[in-house]
Amino acid sequence: MAATDVDVFSNEEKRSLSLGGHVGFDSLPDQLVSKSVTQGFCFNILCVGETGIGKSTLMNTLFNTTFENEEASHYQNGVYLRPRTYDLQESNVHLKLTIVDTVGFGDQINKEESYKPIVDYIDTQFENYLQEELKIKRSLFNYHDTRIHICLYFIAPTGHSLKSLDLVTMKKLDSKVNIIPIIAKADTISKSELHKFKIKIMSELVSNGVQIYQFPTDDDAVAEINSSMNAHLPFAVVGSVEEVKVGNKTVRARQYPWGVVQVENESHCDFVKLREMLIRVNMEDLREQTHARHYELYRRCKLEEMGFKDTDPDSQPFSLQETYEAKRKEFLGDLQRKEEEMRQMFVNKVKETEAELKEKERELHDKFEQLKRMHQDEKRKVEEKRKDLEEEINAFNTRKVAAETLSLSQPLKKDKDRKNRSEKNENQSGMSLSNSKVMMAKANVEPLNCQSWWQAIQCCTCLVHNDAWKQGLF
Amino acid sequence: MTTSARYKSRIFKTEDSEDKQYVGFATLPNQVHRKSVKKGFDFTLMVAGESGLGKSTLVNSLFLTDLYKDRKLLNAEERINQTVEITKHTVDIEEKGVKLKLTIVDTPGFGDAVNNNECWKPITDYIDQQFEQYFRDESGLNRKNILDNRVHCCLYFIPPFGHGLRPVDVEFMKALHEKVNIIPLIAKADCLTPNEIKKLKDRVRDEIERFGIKVYQFPECDSDEDEEFKQMDKELKECTPFAVIGSNTVVEARGQRVRGRLYPWGIVEVENQSHCDFVKLRNMLIRSHMHDLKDVTCDVHYENYRAHCIQEMTSKLAQDNRMDSPIPILPLPTPDAETERLIKMKDEELKRMQEMLEKMQQQMHEKDQ
């Protein structure tokens, strides 16, 4: 958009005129300044580095105050970010400073996911700003800008080169935020080693295409100092809040048995350079870069994702409104289609279930029929057996009657009769006994030979109904 | 005080008194000394820790040689997926007629990759391999020339930039404390003031105890040692883990040429006891406890390994129902848990199928009857 604006202006008639006297619009910058001073400034720093590398101490040293912070433990499960906001004041300038700390960075055994929380946090801040910008009723001048303006990446002073985690993380962050790499705890590297270390780090960054923040050299007032500072990157810093007496001054320093490392001594470390660059010279430029470059990039990517374009397929400039309308229609159309689909699915499912149920019903019916038939078969068989048995009983009865009439038809003496009778009785009973024995024998065999319990019971029932049984002859 | 000086004085005492009843076995230490000088000593030292902590510099300072000529260091992008290698450097050094074959085992790549899961596995495998090699040689028929490649001591470098032990440190030490003598060191101690060193040492000692890591313990000194020695021993024990600084360069300090590091604010002397614990480490490692380290490795770590090995072998043989073979068969190189589990599952399946078969046979039997 900015590119097209410039073109528009160059097409218009532009003439430079000279002024006859002092008009007074040279006070415009002052007005701007006084407005921004009353508004207050806002600055957000992200500190990325291993636990214990000196992030909090450096912040304390930079801003010459003690921010509250607890020592982090090494045993966090993952990386999480801890933003803290402070209100600082110097002369009449208010600064709303937010320091975001990465807790647990570099501690895990598997660090492949370590960069994700950081990238997510930065994106969330951009997203919040974008949402505010896209609102209908928005108040951007009042908005507390939480976008990260600068990321200080703390490199461990190994003296050899960058760590693999550092390289991976910086590559992921360089398109989202201004990165200034700094060498932490620099009092462990001697001068010659430091020189080699810096060269190695810069060459590794360049060869891997990592874009760190370059101090701007287009503004004449600060071009010289900025370009010289660019050559000193990465800054080797030492932080300390303790004061040590050196000579007749008390300075912030670290006291060792072999000497005192002064924080603000340029020949000891690059702390002063960092403070100059970060706070005194380029703070405003950092904010601008964040807004103009990183935020715009994020915004463009996000809107393109959503389908907005600057130019039509016919290369006519689009207006946001039309795009929005088109999007909305598309969205509603999608919704309707989805509804249709779901309804269709529902109907299909219902049909399926109905069909299943019918199937099951039929099966049950068949089974029922089958069982009924079986039952009838059984019943028939049983009936037949009963008939057979009855016939046998009848046959037996007739035989019995015949036997009785036989015995009765022979008139004998009383005692003979008696004897006979007793004999006959015996015989009878014997016969009935033998009969009963037969019955018994039959009984012994038959129920057990029955094919089903129903038949067995029938046999037993016949037995029970038998007269011999009823007479209690056995 | 060296050991030789101490016992020599005792011999003189016994010689003065009781000349007639003098048997003469008091010269045994002398004989041992002579023989050992003739045989020479060997020592294997392993150094482990992330790159850039000064391991090579320290080793050079300890043995006053340059073991790491022409070393090629990898760039950061090459290290993203680096695996741990094991490199060995062997040097023969001699001092006053005593020969020492020193082997330094280095572990480049440890802790350098982005994903360091199980990065200590190559190291534990290496140590086990050396044990296995020695076990094989010891059980062999010709035992004259056994090469002892077992690792006698492992110096583990803890970075001073943190607040204590990190998870990777804890995991590494726990994986190795039963296999080798671990001596933890705080590396690059010239970035810590004396107060910070004390705090960090206390922290590290607490965490070592909390996680149950068994680092190398100095043996208790006998009660008949002299006071000076006991005092030294006590100081030594309170000083662990040692905070060390190494240096390859010689600088001029206080009119002398010493090993040290030159800073704009002062000169750190490596051999100055008030600057760092390098002298204590050197004395402990080389001058007084080198042999004890070897003994602990042989008597404790190797015996543990050997017992474990033999138990595994016998349990395997029992399962196979074979006769004990006269020649010990070495176990397969640690079958991983996965295959073992599969084998167990298959065994159980087989047993179940066998039982089912038997049942079916029985049933058939009954039916026939």
CB spacing of A190 vs B261 below 8 angstroms: yes
Neighbouring residues of B175: CB distance < 8 A, sequence distance ≥ 6:
B120, B123, B124
Give the mean pLDDT of A276-291.
Answer: 85
Is B5 a residue whose pLDDT tops 80? no
Among candidate residues B317, B312, B320, the one with its CA nearest the CA of residue B347: B320
DSSP string, A27-41: GHHHHHHHHHHHH-E
Split at pLDDT 50, 70, 90, the class of B322 is: low
Neighbouring residues of B257: CB distance < 8 A, sequence distance ≥ 6:
B250, B251
* pLDDT score recorded for residue A363: 94
Split at pLDDT 50, 70, 90, the class of A64 is: confident
* pLDDT score recorded for residue A5: 47
- Angle of the A115-134 helix axis to the A296-306 helix axis, nearest 10: 80
* pLDDT score recorded for residue B12: 47
Is A380 a residue whose pLDDT tops 80? yes
* Residue with token string 């543990």: B304
* pLDDT score recorded for residue A27: 84
Give the chain A residue whose CA is nearest to the CA of B72: A160
Stretch 2-21 of chain B: residues touching chain A, C-beta under 8 Å: none
Most confident of A58-72, A139-153, A169-183, B56-70: A169-183
pLDDT per residue as tens digits for the range B202-223: 999 999 989 988 888 877 766 6
* pLDDT score recorded for residue A183: 93
Interface predicted TM-score (ipTM):
0.72
Least confident of A322-326, B232-236, B254-258, B324-328: B324-328
Q: Does A12 touch chain B (CB under 8 A)?
A: no
Q: A79 in helix, strand or coil?
A: coil
- Higher pLDDT: A312 or A101? It is A101
* pLDDT score recorded for residue A456: 59
Give the mean pLDDT of B355-364.
Answer: 86
How does the average pLDDT of chain B come out, rounded?
Answer: 81
Least confident of B120-134, B236-250, B317-331: B317-331
* pLDDT score recorded for residue A420: 53
CB spacing of A259 vs B112 below 8 angstroms: no
Q: How many residues are listed for chain B in this entry? A: 369
* pLDDT score recorded for residue A382: 94
Split at pLDDT 50, 70, 90, the class of A34 is: confident
Is A364 a residue whose pLDDT tops 70? yes
Give the mean pLDDT of A282-299.
Answer: 88
How does the average pLDDT of chain A come out, rounded?
Answer: 81
* pLDDT score recorded for residue A374: 94
Burial class (CB in 10 A: 0-12, 13-18, 19+), B52: buried
Is B293 a residue whose pLDDT tops 90? no
C-alpha to C-alpha distances, B15 to A175, B9, B11, B23, nearest whole angstrom: 84, 10, 6, 10
* pLDDT score recorded for residue A397: 92
CB spacing of A258 vs B269 below 8 angstroms: yes
Q: Are A188 and B266 in contact (CB under 8 A)?
A: no
pLDDT per residue as tens digits for the range A325-349: 888 888 899 999 999 999 999 999 9
Give the chain A residue whose CA is nearest to the CA of B189: A188
CB spacing of B114 vs A254 below 8 angstroms: no
Stretch 41-60 of chain B: residues touching chain A, C-beta under 8 Å: 50-53
Tokens coding B354: 């066998």
Among candidate residues B113, B200, A101, the one with its CA nearest the CA of residue B121: B113
Across the interface, of B77, B159, B166, the residue whose CB is closest to A208 is B77
Return the percentage of chain A with pLDDT > 70, whole number: 81
CB spacing of B80 vs A167 below 8 angstroms: yes
Contacts of B76 in chain A (CB under 8 A): 161-164, 166-167, 204, 208
* pLDDT score recorded for residue B280: 86
- Higher pLDDT: B35 or A235? It is A235
Among candidate residues A232, A179, A211, the one with its CA nearest the CA of residue A45: A179
* pLDDT score recorded for residue A239: 87
Distance from the Cα of B274 to chain A's closest Cα (Å) equals: 7
* pLDDT score recorded for residue B4: 47
Distance from the Cα of A272 to chain B's closest Cα (Å) equals: 16
If one counts every other C-beta atom within 10 angstroms of the C-beta of residue B87, the result is 12
Bridge partners of B339?
A: none
CB spacing of B171 vs A109 below 8 angstroms: yes
* pLDDT score recorded for residue B97: 81
Neighbouring residues of A297: CB distance < 8 A, sequence distance ≥ 6:
A175
Split at pLDDT 50, 70, 90, the class of B332 is: low
* Mutation site for A-interface testing, chosen from B161, B170, B211, B267 by largest number of A Cβ within 10 Å: B161
pLDDT per residue as tens digits for the range B165-203: 888 889 899 988 888 999 999 999 888 888 889 889 999
Q: Does B204 touch chain A (CB under 8 A)?
A: no
- Higher pLDDT: B70 or A290? It is A290
Q: Does B72 touch chain A (CB under 8 A)?
A: no
Is A356 a residue whose pLDDT tops 70? yes
* Mutation site for A-interface testing, chosen from B263, B268, B272, B277 by largest number of A Cβ within 10 Å: B263
Distance from the Cα of A66 to chain B's closest Cα (Å) equals: 19
In Å, how far from its chain's centre is CA A334? Answer: 26
pLDDT per residue as tens digits for the range A416-459: 555 555 555 555 554 555 555 555 555 444 545 556 666 656 66
Whether the ω angle into residue A117 lies within 30 degrees of 0, i.e. cis, is: no
Across the interface, of A160, A184, A255, the residue whose CB is closest to B52 is A160
Burial class (CB in 10 A: 0-12, 13-18, 19+), B217: exposed
Is A360 a residue whose pLDDT tops 80? yes
Across the interface, of B80, B161, B194, the residue whose CB is closest to A168 is B80
Stretch 126-165 of chain A: residues touching chain B, C-beta under 8 Å: 156-165
Q: Are B50 and A111 in contact (CB under 8 A)?
A: no
Distance from the Cα of A250 to chain B's closest Cα (Å) equals: 16
Q: Does B106 touch chain A (CB under 8 A)?
A: no
Least confident of A157-166, A256-265, A441-450: A441-450
CB spacing of A167 vs B191 below 8 angstroms: no
List, in sequence order, the alpha helices (H) in B211-336: 227-239, 278-282, 290-296, 303-320
Is A375 a residue whose pLDDT tops 90? yes
CB spacing of A156 vs B262 below 8 angstroms: no
Strand ordering across the sheet containing A249-256: A243-246, A249-256, A259-262
Label residue B52 left, alpha or beta by phi (over 0 means left) and psi (-120 to 50 means alpha).
left
Over the Cα atoms of chain A, what is R_g?
A: 53
pLDDT per residue as tens digits for the range A177-232: 999 999 999 888 888 889 999 999 999 999 999 888 888 887 777 788 888 888 88
CB spacing of B263 vs A108 below 8 angstroms: no
If one counts every other C-beta atom within 10 angstroms of the C-beta of residue A43, the result is 20
Q: Are B9 and B30 in contact (CB under 8 A)?
A: no
N-term to C-term CA, chain B: 93
Contacts of A107 in chain B (CB under 8 A): 166-167
Task: Give the integer Cα–Cα distance in Å for A362 and A374.
Answer: 18
Cα dihedral B202, B207, B213, B216, rounded to 10, equals -10
For A151, the enclosing helix (H) or strand (E) is strand A150-155
Most confident of A67-76, A253-262, A365-374, B58-67: A365-374
CB spacing of B264 vs A191 below 8 angstroms: yes
C-alpha to C-alpha distances, A457 to A12, A347, A382, A439, B283, nearest whole angstrom: 120, 57, 11, 15, 104
Is B8 a residue whose pLDDT tops 80? no
Is A58 a residue whose pLDDT tops 80? yes
Neighbouring residues of B75: CB distance < 8 A, sequence distance ≥ 6:
A161, A204
Split at pLDDT 50, 70, 90, the class of A120 is: very high
Is A474 a residue whose pLDDT tops 50? no
Cα dihedral A68, A70, A76, A81, rounded to 10, equals 0
Tokens coding B303: 């015996």
* pLDDT score recorded for residue A2: 46
- Higher pLDDT: A5 or A83? It is A83
CB spacing of B161 vs A50 below 8 angstroms: yes
Across the interface, of B73, B112, B190, the residue whose CB is closest to A164 is B112
Return the percentage of chain B with pLDDT > 70, whole number: 87
Give the mean pLDDT of B33-48.
Answer: 85
- Higher pLDDT: A317 or B311? It is B311
* Mutation site for A-interface testing, chosen from B50, B72, B166, B204 by largest number of A Cβ within 10 Å: B166
Across the interface, of A162, A187, A262, the residue whose CB is closest to B191 is A187
* Residue with token string 């810590």: B192
CB spacing of B114 vs A267 below 8 angstroms: no
Is A3 a residue whose pLDDT tops 50? no
Q: B168 in helix, strand or coil?
A: helix
DSSP string, A353-403: HHHHHHHHHHHHHHHHHHHHHHHHHHHHHHHHHHHHHHHHHHHHHHHHHHH
* pLDDT score recorded for residue A434: 52
CB spacing of B262 vs A204 below 8 angstroms: no
* pLDDT score recorded for residue B9: 45
Q: Are A250 and A243 in contact (CB under 8 A)?
A: yes
